[in-house]
Amino acid sequence: MFRFPWTLTDNPVGWVEITDSCNIECRGCYRRRLEGHKSLAQIEEEIGFMQRFRNVDQINLAGGEPLVHPEIVEIVRLIHARGLKPCIISNGQRLKKPGLLESLKKAGLEHISFHVDSGQIRPGWTGKSEEELNALREVLADRIHRAGGIKCGFNMTVTRSNLDHVPRMVRWALSQRGRVTGLTFIVLRGGVLREGYTYLALGRPVQIPPDALGYLTDEATRGEYVYATDVRDVLRQNFPEYSPAAYLGGSVRSESLKWIVAQTICSGRQMIGSAGPRAIELFQSAYHYLFGRYSLGSRRPLGHTALGMALLDRGMARAFWQWIRRGLIFRPVYGLAMAIVQPPDELPDGTFEMCDGCPDMTYFQGKLVHSCRLDEYRQFGSLLSQVPRQMTSQARD
Ligand code: SF4
């Protein structure tokens, strides 16, 4: 696989949280409600910081729930006016508001990624199975499709309990015939407060209230954990055409796979192949050469022309021949990108392994921090670390 060339200061994505308010509840949510909505000035400062110090191509607006921010349309317009791609990570609840989607489209919205899964407390959908939630996903995909010109994706938190639903989610996305262009599978991760450990922030011992951080969990929940490679293997077993071609590793261990990415090529309800590592490398390098920054994908949805890459990439060549062999040449071709993300893993020494080249860095008091651990900064002033209590008492003596 090709290792994405993304770094702290040259990365396609800037993660900007515009509010910590939300209108539903998700299991293991990273964000506590402490401050509510940010001001437009604060948000514009963060966008400017991302553009200047991270060389971003897109801004992912997140939260909380970004659609509950009263100035969401103006924020999208601000990003578009800077020549960046405005993307929203949303639970979709607020899209029912008449005229909101049309205003967002007019303001320049390019992509929306919906977080819908069975771990959510959502009016009218709580307790529904992943299968039953396809009805909600259909409503949201339909709304975006009718607005036109906005790419649509879905996120799902994966645990041992709903791992078997992953291939069904892909089949549902294929049944949308190009209305859905991206799926992100995020495996559940959290932290456990350990007996006999002292927790430090800014080098000083701190007390952590049990509900301080949304991702604090218990030993039992760790039994629900799966690895990104487990999700990859389930996809491989169910879709022979699925072939991941790019990755991000871990910040500590050389063998870690934290992001596993495939650009599958599809036609009708069929997956006909996957772009190979050369195709991904060529796109990243060419985009950076032409536009001076990396990208998660071009503005235009992937289509027939992409099959032209068959001359340069084995994966695309296989897709091209499947397209011919299966008699699909009169059918539209589209892309279904699939990312599997493995959030921070606790290591035996009590430290945490992050994603190397993290695309979801966010702004905090003049610096870039991992958005998945932002609440540690917001509540304790720095990342938390843990040391066995006997070590702190020995240090004191
Ligand atoms: S390290 Fe970055 S990419 Fe990985 S889970 Fe955290 S915020 Fe997301």
pLDDT tens by residue, 366-389? 999 999 999 999 999 999 998 887
Give this prediction's pTM.
0.95
Contacts of 72 (CB under 8 A, 6+ apart): 18, 61, 66, 88, 100, 104
pLDDT over 80 at 319, yes or no: yes
pLDDT over 70 at 342, yes or no: yes
* Cβ burial 311-344 (10 Å sphere, 16+ → b, else e): eebebbbbbbebbeeeebeebebbbbbbbbbbbb
pLDDT tens by residue, 264-273? 999 999 999 9
Ligand 1 atom closest to Cα of residue 186: 5
What's the 129 CA to ligand 1 centre distance in angstroms? 27
Q: Are 107 and 80 in contact (CB under 8 A)?
A: yes
- Whole-number mean pLDDT of the chain? 94
At residue 147 the predicted structure's pLDDT band, cuts being 50, 70 and 90, is very high
CATH of domain 2-180+190-226+242-253+344-396: 3.20.20
**For position 300, what pLDDT does the model report?**
80
Phi then psi for residue 133, to 5 deg, are: -70, -10
What's the 98 CA to ligand 1 centre distance in angstroms? 34
C-alpha to C-alpha distance for 341 and 258, rounded to whole angstroms: 6
pLDDT over 70 at 194, yes or no: yes
- β 259-267/246-248 pair status: antiparallel
What's the 201 CA to ligand 1 centre distance in angstroms? 20
C-alpha to C-alpha distance for 12 and 368, rounded to whole angstroms: 14
In sequence order, what DSSP letters do the residues of 155-206 get, joined into one string? EEEE-TTTGGGHHHHHHHHHHTTTS--EEEEEE---EEPPTTEEEEETTEEE
Q: Are 276 and 316 in contact (CB under 8 A)?
A: yes
Q: In a 3-state reduction of DSSP, which class is residue 67?
A: helix
Q: Are 150 and 180 in contact (CB under 8 A)?
A: no
**For position 314, what pLDDT does the model report?**
95
Amino acid identity at 294: Y
**16-20, 110-114, 200-204, 355-359, range with the lowest pLDDT:** 200-204
At residue 219 the predicted structure's pLDDT band, cuts being 50, 70 and 90, is confident
Report the residue among 261, 358, 364, 375 best suited for mutation to probe ligand 1: largest number of ligand atoms under 8 A from its CB: 358
Residue nearest to atom 2 of ligand 1 (CA): 358
What's the 376 CA to ligand 1 centre distance in angstroms? 14
Residue nearest to atom 3 of ligand 1 (CA): 358
Taking residues 249-262, what's their average pLDDT?
A: 97
Taking residues 179-205, what's their average pLDDT?
A: 91
Taking residues 199-212, what's their average pLDDT?
A: 91
C-alpha to C-alpha distance for 376 and 362, rounded to whole angstroms: 13
C-alpha to C-alpha distance for 352 and 348, rounded to whole angstroms: 9
Residue nearest to atom 5 of ligand 1 (CA): 343
Q: Are 364 and 251 in contact (CB under 8 A)?
A: no
Q: Quick one: residue 165, left, alpha or beta (phi over 0 = left, psi -120 to 50 = alpha)?
A: alpha
What's the 342 CA to ligand 1 centre distance in angstroms? 8
Domain range summary for the chain, segments of one domain joined by +? 2-180+190-226+242-253+344-396
pLDDT tens by residue, 17-30? 999 999 999 988 89
At residue 396 the predicted structure's pLDDT band, cuts being 50, 70 and 90, is low
Q: Are 256 and 249 in contact (CB under 8 A)?
A: yes
Residue nearest to atom 8 of ligand 1 (CA): 360
Scanning the structure block, which residue is given the tokens 């871990």? 250
At residue 390 the predicted structure's pLDDT band, cuts being 50, 70 and 90, is confident
Scanning the structure block, which residue is given the tokens 């195709």? 279
What's the 248 CA to ligand 1 centre distance in angstroms? 10
Bridge partners of 380? none
Report the residue among 247, 370, 376, 377 best suited for mutation to probe ligand 1: largest number of ligand atoms under 8 A from its CB: 370
Ligand 1 atom closest to Cα of residue 189: 5
HSE-CB for 123 with a 13 A CA cutoff: 7
What's the 267 CA to ligand 1 centre distance in angstroms? 32
Scanning the structure block, which residue is given the tokens 């389930």? 234
C-alpha to C-alpha distance for 236 and 242, rounded to whole angstroms: 6
pLDDT tens by residue, 74-130? 999 999 999 999 999 999 999 999 999 999 999 999 999 999 999 999 999 999 999
Between the two ends of the chain, the Cα-to-Cα distance in Å is 51
Q: Are 121 and 145 in contact (CB under 8 A)?
A: no
Q: Are 334 and 266 in contact (CB under 8 A)?
A: yes
**For position 136, what pLDDT does the model report?**
97
Sign of CA dihedral 314, 315, 318, 320: negative
Ligand 1 atom closest to Cα of residue 370: 7
Ligand 1 pocket (Cβ < 6 Å) reads 341, 343-344, 354-355, 358-360, 370-372
Ligand 1 atom closest to Cα of residue 251: 1
Report the residue among 341, 356, 372, 374 best suited for mutation to probe ligand 1: largest number of ligand atoms under 8 A from its CB: 372
**For position 8, what pLDDT does the model report?**
98
Phi then psi for residue 31, to 5 deg, are: -115, 120
Q: Residue 223 CB: number of other CB atoms within 10 A?
A: 9
At residue 214 the predicted structure's pLDDT band, cuts being 50, 70 and 90, is confident
Residue 207 host element (H or E): none
